[in-house]
Amino acid sequence: MSASLDVVQPSGEIHVEETAFGKWFLRTETWTVHVLERALKDLQRMMPEAPEGYGVVADVGCGFGRSLPKLHQRFAPQRLIGMDIDPEMLQHAAREVAAHNVQAEFICCSSSNIKLEDNSVDLLFCHQTFHHLVDQENAIREFFRVLKPGGVLLFAESTKRYIHSWIIRLLFRHPMDVQKTAPEYLAMVRAAGFSVPDSAVSYPFLWWSREDLGLMERVLRINPPAVREETLINLVAVKP
């Protein structure tokens, strides 16, 4: 099976390029197993039942494509689309899906200017992408635009508390002035027009999202505080 690939760099788009460490980390098993797979499992348990399935599935900010075989396996879409602003990452993503014998197409575009028709996507996956975006308000409006009525947004994000932590500042690069707290992300998605019941929101506190990488709990057996500023938010939103 083949992958179609459009790698024309969007003109006039502003984005913060990831560090060399960040690009390396996105291709590790730690990322694939402990970040991506755990987010997918959490999101999937909160999803509404889809009687007709998800014919068109798109990943906004697919990076090196580790998510695409997983989306194909879970949802068996007729059309699988990977999108990213970085053409180099899309080249790697095309090789990733080919290695798994998965058919996909790729679009090089900004999340705030998605090259898809209105009401054309059944399921939109946005995993650890939003905190990279400079124009978050336009991006969430684009998500709403391209989803069909009844379409589902799977949204998994690191919050301001995590992105502003010393370890993330040291190893990665992000637009720091646009970062949001978990309540602010939830409010933003709802304000864009999405329906997000409280039962479709979770706040994982995974070891890798902590400044001490979970050592206090795993080594010293000190439980994390029950009341804290959340470092992650996962939510499932539906376009009415």
CATH of the domain at 136: 3.40.50.150
pLDDT in tens, 209-221: 666 665 565 665 6
CB-CB contact of 176 with 147 (8 Å): no
What is the pLDDT, as a whole number, of residue 4? 45
pLDDT at 206 over 50: yes
Question: Which among 166, 180, 156 is positioned nearest to 232, based on CA atoms?
Answer: 156
pLDDT at 150 over 80: yes
pLDDT at 207 over 70: no
pLDDT at 72 over 50: yes
Strand pairing partners for 236? Answer: 154
pLDDT at 144 over 90: yes
Number of domain units in the chain = 1
Who's near 226: CB < 8 A, 6+ residues apart? none
pLDDT at 107 over 90: yes
Cα 46 to Cα 8, 107, 188, 209: the distances in Å are 36, 28, 19, 21
Who's near 136: CB < 8 A, 6+ residues apart? 130, 178, 180, 188
What is the pLDDT, as a whole number, of residue 11? 42
**Percentage of residues in the chain with pLDDT exceeding 70?**
85
Question: Which among 179, 177, 173 is positioned nearest to 16, based on CA atoms?
Answer: 173
CB-based burial, 125-155: b 16+ in 10 Å, e otherwise = bbbbbbbbbbbbeebbebbbbbbbeebbbbb
Range scoring the smallest mean pLDDT among 41-55, 95-109, 148-162, 177-191: 41-55
Domain enclosing residue 61, as ranges: 3-238
